[in-house]
């Protein structure tokens, strides 16, 4: 399964390299409303992203994944789509997308859009039509409308819970003579779930894919990819099983029928030139999750599924090693690379997570409590984790801002919180806005170049980010930005990071040592005593600032080593 390092400076339009680009790419995730605001309304937009494309390219990314940009009431940051073929005016226009694609492709960057097929917005014309229509009508058949249980149909049709809190059913206003029906939503009530048993729904989404592929989009990240198909009859979730935690008999995660949808999407993607890709957000939590995830990346299905194990794993050697070895083994069985990720717009940023007493991704109960963060400790570990991530074979996703070492903003005032989780949890879980604060680009006070001076950003930025701006880190050789740039440069050019094999090699207690095909090693001291740099190796890069190459590697640090000539 060896791969050679492809020349990724080649413009996208030129001949495809021998190894498909997505098997070893670095994808930079842009949460659009928090990235860069060109029109001065305090919300990031496509023109702002377009202006920063050269910066992303210089960083060393191969592609950009943009969170949903469609017309939307923004109940869930755009994951509630009212029109899948138009851009929300807050973000720009379709012409802005055309210009973005032209500029990105000229720089050799691909652009991946986010598609949201599990649910629409309640403002989508289909849902409006469905609400106005009678039970049993064709308009209602596009969604999951059902009669309630109990006298008068007053109880929801089953026991499903919403991932955002509360139940997964909302009663629709009554139409006609029958008792009012309920509609199902795995997320917010303003995000009604589509019924993928409907041929009309399937065909509509295939047409939407073609619309964007025709425009030049290089791929799609598929939201809630494992949840589209619900079990026949919508049976209750077994007792004691939460909305996220599945099991072989779970009625809405990973149902067999979902795979047929992606086989047909794959045929569509393959019909376009230029290695278009499909990436699934597939987050099973069961013990057999690696095998389950691998089913989605069989050769005729999706190209990638996120492996969220590293993002969830505690800063602990065994936890980290398992999070790497298990998915590698499972994906190898279907010939797919693993897609790694440490952070995204749904989870605490690395600096924050690794700086807390409990370093695993917080459970729902933990999210309802506040946690003190040691930012200096979190930063050291985030630096080490970046070298670990970028040493792994496969594709790596970076969440914009991690290259600046941003922490979460844990003390956002209650009144600015926009995440629907806050309301749905009865104001007990503050949700995900802490990792969505607009990026600091330059200057020494908010809006830090995110918006024009004097503009208030959609979430406030902490004054302390004056020390974390992109411009401020630009010429600081010890900055997080310098570390990411150096690592990405090596990842692209160094033959030691080519290929798709990884070996865990013996290391002292608390230390993880991984070796790539050509002998390059990544040493991560997670919890051990300082460890000597092995004789016969040369340090390519280390995460601890200010250390000399030959110094022992302390706890919470990582190094890339190559065999000395």
Q: Which spans of this chain sit near ligand NOJ (rule: CB under 6 A)?
A: 76, 79, 116, 187, 223-224, 281, 345-346
Instruction: Name 553's Cβ contacts closer than 8 Å, sequence gap at least 6.
Output: 511, 523, 525, 530, 531, 532, 533, 542, 544, 547, 559
Of 184 and 281, nearer to ligand NOJ (C-beta) is 281
Least distance to ligand NOJ from the beta carbon of 54, Å? 27
CB of 122 to ligand NOJ, least distance (A): 13
Tell the smallest beta-carbon distance from residue 332 to ligand NOJ (Å). 27
Helix H or strand E segment including 487: helix 480-493
> With b meaning 16 or more CB within 10 Å and e meaning fewer, what string describes 456-472?
ebbbbbbeebeebbbeb
Distance (Å) of CA 146 to CA 61, 169, 184, 233 = 46, 9, 8, 10
Of residues 221 and 381, the one with the C-beta less far from ligand NOJ: 221
* Closest residue to ligand NOJ using C-beta atoms: 79
Give least dist CB 394 to ligand NOJ, A: 20
Closest contact distance (angstroms) between CB of 433 and ligand NOJ is 11
| Cβ distance to ligand NOJ smaller for residue 347 or 473 | 347
CB of 425 vs ligand NOJ, minimal distance in Å: 13
CB-nearer residue toward ligand NOJ: 116 or 480: 116
Q: Which residues pair with 161 in a beta bridge?
A: 167
Shortest spacing between CB 116 and ligand NOJ, in angstroms: 6
Nearer to ligand NOJ, 355 or 362 (CB): 362
* Bridge-based pairing state of the strands 502-505 and 395-399: unpaired
Distances in Å between the alpha carbon of 301 and those of 121, 264, 265, 293? Answer: 27, 8, 8, 11
- Cα 441 to Cα 37, 404, 543, distances in angstroms: 11, 10, 23
Closer CB to ligand NOJ, residue 186 or residue 512?
186
The distance of closest approach from Cβ of residue 378 to ligand NOJ in the complex, given in angstroms and rounded to an integer, is: 23
Task: Decide whether 163 or 541 has the Cβ nearer to ligand NOJ.
Answer: 163
Please give the C-alpha separations between residue 548 and each of 186, 245, 476, 526, 553, in angstroms, as whole numbers. 52, 46, 17, 19, 10
- Angle value at C-alpha 323, between 317 and 325, nearest 5 degrees: 95
Q: Which residue has the tokens 């050509």?
A: 518
Q: Which is nearer to ligand NOJ, 65 or 484 (CB)?
A: 65
Least distance to ligand NOJ, CB of residue 302, Å: 16
Instruction: Please answer whether residues 565 and 496 qualify as being in contact, where contact means their C-beta atoms are separated by less than 8 angstroms.
Output: no
Alpha-helical (H) ranges within 175-231 are 199-215
DSSP state of 414: G
Closest CB to ligand NOJ among 384 and 400? Answer: 400
Place of tokens 């990105």: 104
Give the nearest distance from C-beta 226 to ligand NOJ in angstroms: 11
* CB-facing half-sphere around the CA of 431: CA atoms within 13 A: 23
Nearer CB in complex with ligand NOJ: 79/127 = 79
Q: Which is nearer to ligand NOJ, 228 or 488 (CB)?
A: 228
Q: Are 475 and 487 in contact (CB under 8 A)?
A: no
In the complex, the smallest distance separating the C-beta of residue 133 from ligand NOJ, rounded to whole angstroms, is 25
Total length of the chain: 565
Distance of closest approach, residue 379 Cβ to ligand NOJ, in angstroms: 25
Q: How many CB atoms lie within 10 A of CB 120?
A: 27
Partners of residue 182 on adjacent β-strands: 146, 171
Looking up tokens 């496509």, which residue turns up?
Answer: 46
Q: How far is the CB of 106 from ligand NOJ (least distance, A)?
A: 29
Of 419 and 515, which CB lies nearer to ligand NOJ in the complex structure?
419
| Coil/strand/helix, residue 474 | helix
3-state secondary structure labels for all residues of 490-532: HHHHCHHHCCCCEEEECCCCCEEEEEECCCCEEEEECCCCCEC
CA dist 128 → 81, 138, 331 (Å): 13, 13, 42
**Least separation in angstroms between CB 340 and ligand NOJ:** 17
Give the separation between CA 501 and CA 1, rounded to whole angstroms: 7
The radius of gyration of the chain from alpha carbons, rounded to an integer in Å, stands at: 23
62 or 76, CB closer to ligand NOJ?
Answer: 76
Q: Which is nearer to ligand NOJ, 60 or 280 (CB)?
A: 280
H-run or E-run covering 65: strand 63-66
């Amino acid at each position: 399964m060896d791969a050679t390092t492809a020349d990724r400076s080649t413009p996208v339009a030129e001949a495809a390299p021998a190894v498909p680009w997505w098997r070893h790419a670095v994808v930079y995730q842009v949460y659009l409303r928090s990235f860069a605001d060109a029109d001065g309304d305090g919300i990031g937009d496509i023109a702002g992203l377009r202006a920063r494309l050269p910066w992303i390219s210089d960083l060393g990314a191969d592609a950009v994944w943009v969170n949903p940009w469609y017309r939307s009431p923004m109940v869930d940051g755009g994951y509630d789509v009212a029109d899948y073929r138009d851009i929300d005016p807050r973000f720009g226009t379709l012409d802005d997308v055309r210009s973005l694609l032209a500029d990105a492709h000229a720089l050799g960057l691909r652009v991946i859009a986010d598609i949201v097929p599990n649910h629409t917005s309640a403002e989508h014309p289909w849902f409006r039509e469905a609400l106005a229509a009678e039970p049993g009508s064709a308009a209602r058949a596009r969604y999951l409308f059902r009669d309630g249980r109990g006298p008068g149909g007053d109880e929801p049709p089953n026991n499903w819970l919403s991932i955002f809190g509360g139940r997964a059913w909302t009663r629709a206003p009554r139409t006609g003579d029958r008792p009012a029906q309920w509609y199902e939503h795995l997320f917010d009530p303003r995000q009604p779930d589509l019924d993928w048993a409907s041929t009309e729904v399937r065909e509509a989404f295939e047409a939407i894919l073609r619309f964007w592929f025709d425009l030049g989009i290089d791929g799609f990240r598929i939201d809630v990819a494992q949840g589209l198909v619900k079990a026949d009859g919508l049976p209750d979730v077994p007792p004691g099983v939460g909305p996220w935690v599945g099991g072989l008999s779970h009625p809405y995660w990973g149902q067999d029928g979902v795979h047929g949808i992606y086989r047909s999407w794959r045929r569509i993607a393959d019909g376009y030139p230029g290695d278009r890709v499909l990436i699934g957000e597939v987050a099973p939590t069961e013990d057999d999750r690696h095998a389950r995830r691998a089913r989605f990346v069989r050769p005729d299905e999706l190209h990638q599924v996120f492996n969220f194990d590293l993002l969830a794993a505690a800063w602990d050697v065994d936890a980290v090693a398992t999070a790497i070895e298990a998915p590698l083994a499972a994906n190898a069985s279907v010939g797919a690379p693993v897609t790694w990720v440490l952070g995204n717009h749904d989870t605490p940023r690395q600096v924050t997570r690794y700086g807390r007493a409990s370093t695993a991704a917080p459970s729902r109960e933990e999210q309802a409590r506040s946690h003190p963060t040691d930012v200096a400790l979190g930063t050291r570990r985030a630096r080490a984790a970046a070298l670990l991530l970028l040493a792994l074979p496969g594709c790596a996703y970076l969440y914009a801002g991690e290259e600046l070492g941003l922490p979460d903003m844990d003390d956002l005032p209650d009144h600015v919180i926009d995440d629907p989780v806050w309301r749905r949890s009865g104001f007990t879980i503050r949700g995900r806005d802490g990792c969505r604060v607009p990026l600091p680009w330059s200057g020494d006070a908010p809006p830090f170049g995110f918006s024009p001076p004097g503009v208030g950003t959609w979430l406030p930025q902490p004054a302390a980010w004056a020390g974390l701006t992109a411009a401020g880190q630009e010429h600081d050789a010890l900055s997080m930005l310098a570390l990411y740039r150096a690592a990405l440069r090596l990842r692209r050019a160094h033959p030691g990071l080519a290929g798709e094999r990884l070996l865990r090699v013996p290391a002292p207690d608390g230390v993880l040592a991984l070796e790539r095909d050509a002998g390059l090693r990544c040493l991560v001291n997670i919890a051990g005593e300082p460890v000597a740099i092995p004789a016969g190796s040369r340090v390519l890069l280390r995460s601890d600032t200010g250390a000399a190459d030959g110094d022992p590697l302390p706890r919470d640090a990582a190094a890339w080593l190559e065999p000395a000539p």
